[in-house]
Amino acid sequence: MPNDLAVETTPIPGLLVVHLPVHEDARGWFKENWQREKMVALGLPDFDPVQNNVSFNARRGATRGIHTEPWDKFVSVTNGRAFAAWVDMRDGDSYGTTFTIELDPGTAVFVPRGVGNSYQTLEDGVAYAYLVNEHWRPGLTYPALDLADPTVAIDWPIPLDEAEISDKDRANPQLADAVRMRARTPLVIGCHGQLGRALMAAFPDAVGVDLDDLDVTDPAAVAAWPWHEHSVILNAAAYTAVDQAETPEGRVAAWAANAAAPATLATVADAHRLTLVHVSTEYVFDGTREVHDETEPVSPLGVYAQSKAAGDLAAGTAKRHYVVRTSWLIGEGHNFVRTMARLAGDGVRPSVVDDQVGRLTFTTELVRAIRHLLDVGADYGIYHVSNGGEAMSWADVAAEVYALSGRDAADVGRVTTEEYFAGKALAPRPLHSTFDLTKLAATGFESEPAMRALRRYLSA
């Protein structure tokens, strides 16, 4: 028996062998069969088990599987020995890969979703235990595989014609005819907005929904959605009519979409072990600081800003969350850059505010950052994302657009926010919107300069 806890990889991606210290004396032995803190530190996924099952096998040669339930397992024996075999049933390059090992009280195995699980007892009276991270539900179907499939060629210690096998397991299909387990897919909420469209392009296997498909403010709709089919929630939905949010109707709509919906999604994410990516805004700050980092307390000004700040706090309650704040978003469709380019083409000489300062964020950059955080497994929490380079005012950006459009940059007039707002019923805006990108950079992400991205955007 090993004296140290250890985790080893196998040829099947994600299938991990865990060597458990077993402490013996004259009375018998003791082991920590599941120890979350120690095992996660050694590389085991933090898979949140919800059910512990034990299968007692009275006779040597009892053979079960190969079953591919749609959840993760942590398998072991509490006494005796068993030969265990796994076959990767996930759609992909590793489909059909096998791994076998002998289980005793000092050996356990973490089995990821989509890997077929089976075993054969080598002694009488073997108790086989397994933790799972989803509750069994009636009517569930899942892929299975013939124990005798010559393609995977499992070398069973006890010949299968001498083993005790259920009729159901004898009737399972061979690998060529078996159903492949499809991976869980990302879910993009707000898929028709400029950010949602960019997310759908970057996550081609994602399922995209809008409020007509899934109203996350409706408890019944949320309860009915098949969340177990998804791996991550990408929430790009928001009420963004900043000025309309100041009206009685707008206030209700803003709080429903920007605060209540993220709270619901955080609850869903925890219930189904999903990662929640929630997109937020620099409006959660009042703009008195010239540069905003992730440690700055929120200080929203208007109703839209207040609802978004509440949404940040709600999304942050999810165990696995990324609250991604962005500023001055530019993508496909109507936006400031497109408006300035159109005005330049029409010969207009606009007046643009010169005392609101920040950086543009192109949807391609924001999506690239979100993808990066997920791919590298960055620490959960808040991240500020924008394009890089020098901070600029809206007037500076407009002047650059005019120059790139073949117009004189001096054709852009400059006014203060106070002058621009005079006589207009507009919500307050933060004057300083520049993000500190240090935390994002520490994950290995290099932000593209905004003006380089602007030139490419206008030339497309």
Q: What is the pLDDT of residues 258-284, one digit of tens each?
A: 999 999 999 999 999 999 999 999 999
What percentage of the chain reaches a pLDDT higher than 90?
A: 88
Candidate from 150-159, 222-231, 320-329 with smallest mean pLDDT: 222-231
pLDDT at 366 exceeding the cut of 80: yes
pLDDT given at position 347: 93
pTM of the model: 0.86
Return phi, psi of residue 379, to 5°.
Answer: -55, 140
Answer yes or no: are the C-beta atoms of 307 and 294 closer than 8 Å.
no
For the segment 176-203, what is each residue's pLDDT rounded down to a tens digit?
999 999 889 999 999 999 999 999 999 9
> Which residue, among 285, 455, 318, has the nearest Cα to 387 in the 3D structure?
455
Pairing, β 115-121 against β 82-88: antiparallel
> pLDDT for 15-27, tens place per residue?
999 999 999 889 9
pLDDT at 3: 67
| pLDDT tens profile 49-81 | 999 999 999 999 999 989 998 999 999 999 999
Tokens of 117: 């699980």
pLDDT bracket for residue 104 (50, 70, 90)? very high
> What does the alpha-carbon distance between residue 448 and residue 10 come to, in Å, rounded to a whole number?
38
Going by pLDDT thresholds of 50, 70 and 90, the confidence category of residue 121 is: very high
Residue 138 binned pLDDT confidence (cut-offs 50, 70, 90) = confident
Lowest mean pLDDT among 23-37, 304-318, 433-447: 23-37
Read off the pLDDT of each residue in 161-175 and give the average, rounded to a whole number.
93
Please say if the pLDDT value at position 2 is more than 80: no
Q: If you average pLDDT over residues 78-104, what whole number do you get?
A: 95
Q: Is the confidence at residue 212, as pLDDT, over 90?
A: no
Q: Which domains does the chain have, with CATH numbers?
A: 6-177 (2.60.120.10), 185-459 (3.40.50.720)
In this prediction, residues 312-329 reach a mean pLDDT of: 96
Q: What are phi and psi of 339, to 5 degrees?
A: -65, -45
> Average pLDDT over the chain, rounded to whole?
94
**CA-to-CA distance for 118 and 82, rounded, in angstroms?**
10
Query: How far apart, in whole angstroms, are the C-alpha atoms of residue 220 and residue 400?
Result: 49
User: What would the mean pLDDT of 94-106 be, rounded to a whole number?
Assistant: 96
Taking only the tens place, the pLDDT of each residue in 372-404 is 999 999 999 999 999 999 999 999 999 999 999
d(CA 80, CA 105): 7
Region 219-241 average pLDDT: 92
* Burial of residue 334, with CB atoms counted within 10 A of its CB: 0-12 exposed, 13-18 middle, 19 or more buried: exposed
Whether the pLDDT of residue 457 is over 90: the answer is yes
If we measure between CA atoms, which residue out of 327, 350, 347 comes closest to residue 430? Answer: 327
Measured in degrees and rounded to the nearest 5, phi and psi for residue 264 equal: -65, -45
Residues assigned a catalytic role: 67, 130
d(CA 103, CA 112): 17
In angstroms, the first-to-last Cα distance of the chain is 64
